[in-house]
Structure 1
């Protein structure tokens, strides 16, 4: 019997609860991103606000999942991979959700009614990043398809680079063409929050890559 098989014998069965929680959290990012794009593409301001509120509720659900993962960490001595990595992965996923919600809060509070193409493009990149996170997280439970996880991490890094380009061009255009200083600040804040959400996606990818290296 291999050493891994011996350890598996002593691993509590409820350790497997971590993976469904991770998958719910990553899936929640995909739902939040889709709702964000739906909100940005509607001209009905009342409906947009309702969709913003839906994102708030989804972020709260994500917080509940984060709390549940921490609770499981306190209950289980043996975990699927390093406790530190579980904590970092949980926090990184939660950070993506926080910045999606933060972007929405800025648009709502600042009364941003005109949705520009850079805002929509950044939201689309957040969705693409969230989809890749969800794909990778679903491969974590057995680590048989390490290449799939690595490929998703590479795509997330590429998505973040694209978001940097969109943000830089959008801010440059604001300084060139926006004459109202208040409007300039409002849109720059919204763009920055959206771009940071893609940075947080890259943070998730970095944690996933660390897990791969440690469990190779």
Structure 2
């Protein structure tokens, strides 16, 4: 009988801790990303890259667990579509942080330019705000904290757009080697897209607030 009742009771004690684990994991990933682009030692960069890879796999496990709980739960803390959308958006950030790191190594990018470092820092800032907002959705009492984080995430994404556009423009203006242009553009693009994914999380959070606040 207890198992039957547990099917109908919202799994607040399961979904929210999983979301918090996912956002905390993103914060760690972004910290390692900043360490990677600020390091001058190839051995340290490789160590950070492997750690990002490990954390991305851990994030995949968390996402899978959220989907599994969603499939087993009849009544959820908020809309099933929003739970799925939030889990997917958090996972997308992890994918692009890992993708950025991956491109640096696959394309043998040895010089971490100022725009690359700046975008990595913006990704980290975005992940800090995501983590802060996700930590507040379990009770929706501190709506101002969530909305403020969402506003800051949007501002971070706008800054990233500017840094990306300016950096690509300078590549075309001053870099003569086509391969180098392609390498850096791919890395910059992945970093900028990670901030876009942070904005996607903010959009989902705002949708949850509108429906449940």
Both structures adopt the same fold (TM-score exceeding 0.5): yes
Contact map agreement 1:15 1:76 (CA 8 A) in 2: no
How far 1:14 sits from its partner (Å)?
Answer: 3.9
Contact map agreement 1:34 1:127 (CA 8 A) in 2: yes
Contact map agreement 1:110 1:186 (CA 8 A) in 2: yes
Ranges in structure 2 where 5+ consecutive residues have no aligned partner: 1-5
> Which structure 1 residue ranges, 4+ long, deviate > 2 Å from structure 2?
9-15
Tell me the residue number matched to 1:95.
92
Q: Provide closer, same or farther for how the CA distance between residues 186 and 85 of structure 1 changes in structure 2, counting only shifts above 3 A.
A: same
Relative to the length of structure 2, the TM-score reads 0.95
Contact map agreement 2:10 2:76 (CA 8 A) in 1: no
Contact map agreement 2:36 2:45 (CA 8 A) in 1: yes
Tell me the residue number matched to 1:6.
none
Q: Provide closer, same or farther for how the CA distance between residues 50 and 163 of structure 1 changes in structure 2, counting only shifts above 3 A.
A: same
Tell me the residue number matched to 2:3.
none
How far 1:11 sits from its partner (Å)?
Answer: 5.5
Relative to the length of structure 1, the TM-score reads 0.94
Ranges in structure 1 where 5+ consecutive residues have no aligned partner: 1-8
Counterpart CA distance in 2 for 1:10 and 1:22 is 20
Structure 1 position 184 matched with structure 2 position 178: no
Structure 1 position 206 matched with structure 2 position 199: no
Tell me the residue number matched to 2:108.
111
Q: Considering only aligned residues, what root-mean-square deviation do their CA atoms show, in Å?
A: 1.3
How far 1:10 sits from its partner (Å)?
Answer: 9.3
